[in-house]
Structure 1
């Protein structure tokens, strides 16, 4: 059982203790931390232009500065909306496992994780509602999981999806936290999220490796290949969720569905995905999760 692996892993227990202590030392009250101006200027970047989905494409070259600023505004709303939806889903999965058989040891850190992620969801939603008037809808579809999963495989996939999601958004958080072209309110929410996510990612990588060690003992080569194929599809699905046709429509770009299709097929998309997931893919391949 995974609990046996965790209980025997002194390194993991030590990491949990350090991360829990850091969560306590770094604790902040998000409801008092942020300053929320009545409005943010429209004639500036709301997302680093290099992170927008049209960057480096002919579509961006055909847009004026005002429309590029508008696009960055609506793409930032989509990004923070994705955070709201992603956090909701990961909270559901972690709450289902806290203080259950197999997860006794990490449950102490789960408490910190749940509290921090709940606060992240609040300030991302607050930003969307204050400055965009809504939260963008969650993208449809998804990625079908391998059939007939064991509980061990299900937990492995859950925490690997959480890790992929966190590493995706953290890439954007780190870039925007340091970007002086952005308003301080935007930089602040990205900075504080990056601070917390660094702990969550460190925890997630350790937990995923232990979960995979358990799964590998009882899985066939075909089952392991199925896990790898699923995670490859999930990486692409996660990245493509950034390409929301509603963002293009709200920015005044004509034919938003066609624009999305063209962007997904462009070399710039493949290059951007490779860059964003560079460290994530290296980790997944090193552990053997992705072949």
Structure 2
């Protein structure tokens, strides 16, 4: 059965108009993490690495049995895992943006904002790396197989699926970090890093959302089918990579039990689904949810 096209996709403004507004916003409010984050501040022993309700074990029997020290240590490892995946995807994003503007008019505001975004992402990547280093965490990153696939897939990052994938990955980080930055139970470094990323990524997400809309105008059903699967595959691998399984062993937990309880953690599944509702609404409106893509979104609890 063929899925019908959406009746009306989200409206987009003129490409140059959008870029002018975003460039003006960047000029008014951008951050240098090397200055804004107090990298030399002590790391409090009683502060979580991320909002505890976002821990993959929160709400499980194992979580209830853990000491405060164990919970803090686990969430530091989970935060480092999330940041390392964010760093990995930022690098893929920069490659995509540079390829996309390579042959475009460099005098255009669209290209100039894309280059501004690359500069932002460079700073974000260093910021994520520095945060993991400051907490003394391993350099997690995605599974080696996914890392290699990213290198290959990055070469084919094109058109609407590239911007949709970027927007989706950034939205996933955004939905977590909006909670981290406001939570006084969380490490000060995590809160500041999250605040910087959320505020600057708001511009990047707007840029990507409108570009998705432009590039899907008059898209055929066949092209939409390809874009759906491509975008869903990226979201699936990003979500699956967020928390590496070795965080449990590194936090001193029974790895097999932790993995089993995390896999069946209904609280975590509900948190992801609720927080990802805005992203899924946009993807659905854009015609990027349907057919096999729904299976992938369900597997990572976004549907």
SS in structure 1 opposite 2:174?
A: helix
Alignment of 1:81-92 (within 5 A): 81-92=84-95
Higher relative contact order (CA 8 A, sep 6+): 2
Distance of 1:244 and 1:262 partners within structure 2? 14
| Partner residue in 1 for 2:196 | 192
Against the structure 1 CA distance between its residues 45 and 21, is the aligned structure 2 distance closer, same or farther, given a 3 Å change threshold? same
Distance of 2:176 and 2:230 partners within structure 1? 24
Distance of 1:210 and 1:143 partners within structure 2? 30
Equivalent residues, number: 274
Distance of 2:120 and 2:156 partners within structure 1? 26
> TM (normalized to structure 2)?
0.81
Say if 1:16 and 1:203, in contact at 8 Å, map to a contact too: yes
1:286 to partner: Cα distance: 0.7
- My pick for the range that moved more, 30-39 or 181-190, is 30-39
Say if 1:152 and 1:211, in contact at 8 Å, map to a contact too: no
| Partner residue in 1 for 2:216 | 212
2:20 aligned to which of 17, 21, 26: 17
| Partner residue in 1 for 2:67 | 64
| Partner residue in 2 for 1:100 | 103
SS in structure 1 opposite 2:14?
A: helix
| Partner residue in 2 for 1:3 | none
Against the structure 1 CA distance between its residues 143 and 36, is the aligned structure 2 distance closer, same or farther, given a 3 Å change threshold? closer
1:31 has 2:34 as partner: yes
1:51 has 2:50 as partner: no
- My pick for the range that moved more, 80-89 or 58-67, is 58-67
1:133 to partner: Cα distance: 4.8
SS in structure 2 opposite 1:106?
A: helix
Say if 1:143 and 1:237, in contact at 8 Å, map to a contact too: no
Say if 1:43 and 1:66, in contact at 8 Å, map to a contact too: yes
1:102 to partner: Cα distance: 8.8
Distance of 2:73 and 2:170 partners within structure 1? 26
1:275 has 2:279 as partner: no
| Partner residue in 1 for 2:159 | 155
Distance of 1:67 and 1:133 partners within structure 2? 15
Say if 1:77 and 1:132, in contact at 8 Å, map to a contact too: no
Cα deviation code 1:34-58 (max 9, x no counterpart): 2113540233212110111112223
Against the structure 1 CA distance between its residues 90 and 173, is the aligned structure 2 distance closer, same or farther, given a 3 Å change threshold? same
Cα deviation code 1:85-128 (max 9, x no counterpart): 11111111111222424996621111110111100111111111
> TM (normalized to structure 1)?
0.84
1:173 to partner: Cα distance: 1.6
Distance of 1:112 and 1:48 partners within structure 2? 30
Residue segments in structure 1 that go unaligned for 5+ positions in a row: 1-8
| Partner residue in 1 for 2:176 | 172
Supply the RMSD in Å over aligned alpha carbons. Answer: 2.8
1:128 aligned to which of 121, 128, 132: 132
Say if 1:245 and 1:257, in contact at 8 Å, map to a contact too: no
Say if 2:140 and 2:244, in contact at 8 Å, map to a contact too: no
SS in structure 1 opposite 2:88?
A: helix
Say if 2:15 and 2:110, in contact at 8 Å, map to a contact too: no
- My pick for the range that moved more, 238-247 or 68-77, is 238-247
Cα deviation code 1:134-183 (max 9, x no counterpart): 421322444999xxx9x998322221111111101111221111111123
1:117 has 2:121 as partner: yes
